[in-house]
């Protein structure tokens, strides 16, 4: 028991949560933007894998971090645009298209890696670059807080910045208003002259961009190399976080962090000789319980609205 407390109530543990949650925050924000545009997209896993490999290839070949980031972004956004073309223009089924792109991500990245390096497992033979860590000047000297908040990878700070930017974009800009209106009622939006498909494509473009950063964090921040299938379901957990957060940026971020904490707890608990099968379930149990409770709340609020309407109607009569 003593070890459990020592491991969990430590600054390192909270630092770990931020590190584990970073890719989830990115994906959940990508999912949020796309969802606001009224698109159900599950292709984030594929976008992230391609972005992760693109970043590694770009930075390894040019030894320039920005070229790496640029190439990674291009790779990830390309997948998002393929999704947009198939689903929005050719009207294909979105779930099947998403699934296909995820499989393409899994196989295609290995194919590219093999073509470039002759290896199929990892990119460790490529001398790719890593995004640096940042010790925040004054904050790093504050006792507990500094140890938790300072010294993270720049991507982690970017993830939190993204949450703010997404909030501003969705609720404070004209583009955000258009994305929301297209998502909520495309006919009404079209009737006032908004180009529905173009707006949806833009929301996918932004989503792809954010997801790409999540992918590049995995291969250029979290780890210094690409390994096959390294996303291991993080793209889907991000979608779950978006649902749990009810499409509100702050809540979505908190949900992503909740999943990150569950993952971090399970990592610590495993070596404390709890059955590994049980501990590995933990993040997924949290996800399911979260989604069920959200479902319950929604149902309740719907029935409340119905009751209010009934009362109103009866008073009118």
Partner 1 sequence: MKKLLLVLVALVLTTVSLTSCAKKVEPKTLKVVVVINTNLGDKAFSDLVWGGVQKAAAEFDFEIKAVELGGDPTKQEPTLTELCDSKEWDLIVAGTFNLLEATKKAAEKYPDQKFLVYDAAINYADGKFKNVVSVLSKQNEGSYLAGALAALLTKSTTDPLVNDEKIIGFVGGGENAAINDFLIGYIEGAKAVDPATKILFSYVGNFTDSAKAKELALAQFQQGADIVFAVASSAGFGVYDAAKTADKYAIGVDQDKALQFKAVGDIVQAKHIPTSVVKNLDVLIYEKLSQFVKKTMPWGTHEAVGLKGNGMALANNEYTKLIVSADILAQVEALKAKIVAGTTVVPTAIGLTTEQIQVYKDKAGQ
The site for partner 1 (CB under 8 A) is made up of: 3, 7, 10, 12, 16, 20, 110, 114, 119-122, 124-125, 127, 218, 222-225, 227-230, 232, 263-264, 267-268, 270-273, 276-277, 280
Nearest residue (CB) to partner 1, 83 versus 225:
225
Nearest residue (CB) to partner 1, 227 versus 251:
227
Nearest residue (CB) to partner 1, 94 versus 267:
267
Nearest residue (CB) to partner 1, 60 versus 170:
60
DSSP output for 149-175: HTTEEHHHHHHHHHHHHHHHHHHHSHH
CA 92 to CA 187: how far, in whole Å? 20
CA 76 to CA 208: how far, in whole Å? 6
Nearest residue (CB) to partner 1, 42 versus 230:
230
At its nearest, how many Å lie between partner 1 and the CB of residue 227?
4
Q: How many CB atoms lie within 10 A of CB 167?
A: 18
DSSP H helices in the chain: 2-8, 11-36, 44-62, 65-84, 94-117, 143-149, 154-172, 174-184, 186-191, 196-217, 234-244, 249-270, 276-316
At its nearest, how many Å lie between partner 1 and the CB of residue 225?
7
From residue 121, give the alpha-carbon distance in Å to each of 23, 115, 220, 223, 233.
Answer: 21, 12, 16, 14, 18
At its nearest, how many Å lie between partner 1 and the CB of residue 72?
16
At its nearest, how many Å lie between partner 1 and the CB of residue 221?
10
At its nearest, how many Å lie between partner 1 and the CB of residue 116?
12
Nearest residue (CB) to partner 1, 50 versus 86:
50
At its nearest, how many Å lie between partner 1 and the CB of residue 86?
25
Using CB atoms within 10 A of its CB, is residue 11 exposed (0-12), middle (13-18) or buried (19+)? middle
Q: Are 48 and 219 in contact (CB under 8 A)?
A: no
* Beta-bridge mates of residue 133: 153
């Amino acid at each position: 028991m003593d070890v459990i407390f020592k491991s969990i109530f430590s600054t390192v543990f909270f630092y770990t949560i931020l590190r584990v949650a970073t890719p989830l925050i990115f994906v959940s924000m990508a999912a949020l933007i796309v969802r606001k545009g009224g698109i159900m997209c599950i292709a984030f896993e594929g976008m992230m894998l391609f972005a992760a490999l693109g970043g590694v290839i770009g930075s390894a070949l040019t030894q320039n971090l920005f070229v790496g980031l640029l190439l990674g972004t291009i790779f990830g956004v390309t997948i998002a645009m393929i999704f947009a073309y198939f689903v929005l223009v050719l009207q294909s089924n979105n779930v099947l298209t998403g699934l296909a792109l995820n499989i393409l991500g899994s196989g295609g990245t290995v194919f590219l890696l093999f073509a470039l390096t002759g290896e199929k497992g990892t990119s460790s033979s490529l001398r790719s670059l890593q995004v640096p860590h940042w010790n925040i000047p004054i904050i790093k000297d504050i006792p507990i807080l500094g140890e938790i908040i300072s010294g993270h990878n720049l991507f982690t700070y970017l993830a939190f910045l993204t949450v703010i930017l997404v909030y501003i974009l969705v609720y404070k800009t004209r583009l955000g208003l258009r994305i929301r209106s297209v998502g909520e009622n495309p006919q009404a939006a079209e009737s006032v002259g908004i180009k529905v498909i173009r707006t949806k494509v833009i929301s996918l473009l932004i989503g792809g961009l954010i997801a790409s950063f999540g992918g590049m964090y995995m291969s250029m921040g979290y780890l210094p190399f690409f390994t096959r299938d390294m996303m291991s379901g993080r793209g889907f957990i991000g979608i779950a976080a978006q649902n749990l957060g009810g499409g509100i940026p702050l809540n979505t971020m908190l949900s992503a962090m909740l999943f990150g904490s569950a993952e971090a707890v399970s990592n610590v608990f495993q070596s404390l000789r709890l059955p590994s099968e049980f501990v590995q379930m933990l993040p997924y149990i949290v996800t399911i319980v979260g989604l069920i409770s959200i479902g319950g709340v929604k149902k309740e609020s719907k029935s409340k609205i119905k009751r209010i309407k009934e009362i109103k109607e009866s008073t009118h009569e």
